[in-house]
Amino acid sequence: MKGNGMLVKGRLLPLLVWVAGLLILWEGLSWALLNVAHAPLAQSKLPYVHEVVSTLFQYGGTLLKEGAATFGNAAIGFLLGAAAGVLLAVLMSVSKTIEQLTFPYAVASQMIPILGLAPIIYGIVRDEQVSRIIISGYITFFPVALNMLRGLRSVDLSALELMHSYAAKPWAVYWKLRLPAAVPGLFSGLKIAAPLAVTGAILVELMGAQHGIGVIMLRNLYYGPSHTYMFWSTILVGAFLGMASYGLMSLIERLVAPWQPEFRPKGGSR
């Protein structure tokens, strides 16, 4: 217990020092840009941190409401995309034919720039909520499928041969061997995709949606320097949503797969 407390302090203290140092540096540069360099639109380029934080508290209700709309749609798209990715990975691991038929197209689909795809999807469905879900699911699908497939194929061959020697059914091989082995790979894909799903939802909102943090971001960018602090507040909220989604996946991974080396108190040793 005492060791854990020291470990937390050992990690927390450097983090606090770094954060405090960056905030002081930011405030100093912002002051120098405004009062020494007299740069045009200085606060638009590098605003005072304390003013941005003040705006966050002042308009916290609005930012929370719009951020929840963004996060909710991104979460639905993320879950649908993750389910599709897992299903495709399992099918590809079962059949080489399915892999040869689908994997090249799955790779090719990732060559399409999201910045170009988002307005196309929005123009077709004409529904901001559905568009956000589709784009978030599209972004989630590929990293989950790829990492899940790698995990399914990472099974130790001796364990696989042992299962076959006992004439284990294919579903038993998957349930008892392949799927547990794929869990770390699955969460690697989920942790990559979760922040990207939020970014995809915000991108669709910039196309002309009615609700979401991207809408507030675009409006305050349009109004210019008078709304600088609000614009930067939306940037921080968007970043927070991405980090929160990553943190949530990490927490679920720790609960679902606590046997992984990085979660053990002594690292790689049990």
pLDDT for the residue 2: 54
pLDDT higher than 80, residue 119:
yes
Q: Has residue 171 got a pLDDT over 70?
A: yes
pLDDT of residue 92: 93
- This prediction has a pTM of 0.85
At residue 9, the pLDDT reads: 59
Average pLDDT over residues 179-199: 93
Residue 266 has pLDDT above 90, yes or no: no
- pLDDT-above-70 percentage for the chain: 93
What is the rounded average pLDDT for all residues in the chain?
A: 87
Confidence of residue 267 (pLDDT cuts 50, 70, 90): low
Is 90's pLDDT higher than 90? yes
Mean pLDDT of 154-175: 88
Q: What pLDDT is stored for residue 270 in this prediction?
A: 47
Write the pLDDT tens digit of every residue in 1-44.
555 555 555 678 888 899 999 999 999 999 998 888 888 888 88
DSSP class per residue in the chain: -HHHHHHHHHHHHHHHHHHHHHHHHHHHHHHIIIIIS--TTHHHHS--HHHHHHHHHHTHHHHHHHHHHHHHHHHHHHHHHHHHHHHHHHHHHH-HHHHHHHHHHHHHHTTS-HHHHHHHHHHHH--HHHHHHHHHHHHHHHHHHHHHHHHHT---HHHHHHHHHTT--HHHHIIIIIHHHHHHHHHHHHHHHHHHHHHHHHHHHTTT-SSSHHHHHHHHHHTGGGGHHHHHHHHHHHHHHHHHHHHHHHHHHHHH-TTSGGGSTTTT--
